Amino acid sequence: MAIERTLILVKPDGVKRGLVGEVVARIERKGFTLEAMELRTLEREKAEEHYAEHADRPFFGELVDFITSAPLVAMCVSGEGAIAGMRTLMGATNPLEATPGSIRGDFATQIGENIVHGSDGTESAQRELGIFFPGRF
């Protein structure tokens, strides 16, 4: 398996609830590497670019409003199979379907505020890392 990089976000709800350390600890215990990490409040333009594939969906405005509502933590995480590995570590998007032991299974209660985001494939990882860490990866 190849070394991959992926974008991981601790969304505003995770930051507000003090779960950044828990998320980082789980990433590190899994054996992945943090190559970059930054606490920031996302600008609306960047949020719209990040969620561009959802622009035609009715929930697009809510996604953008939520992700820009308060600080988040953006990370570049790397390792063998990091994309699939992080998707498993995060759990299903809908926390009610997320496996206990996953981040969402243990901490999230609703789909709109589900603690974390992770890139879903190689192309999206490259695109998303370019949005959050331009020129670095």
Domain boundaries, the chain: 3-132
pLDDT of residue 112: 85
- Give pTM, 2 decimals: 0.96
pLDDT of residue 2: 85
Q: Write the pLDDT tens digit of every residue in 94-112.
A: 999 999 999 999 999 998 8
d(CA 15, CA 6): 19
Enumerate the active-site residues. 117
In 3D, which of 91, 71, 87 has the Cα closest to residue 124? 87
pLDDT(125) > 90: yes
In 3D, which of 74, 109, 104 has the Cα closest to residue 92? 104
Rounded average pLDDT over 8-25: 98
d(CA 137, CA 131): 10
User: What fold, for 3-132?
Assistant: Alpha-Beta Plaits (3.30.70)
In order, the DSSP letters of 62-85 are: HHHHHHTSS-EEEEEEEEETHHHH
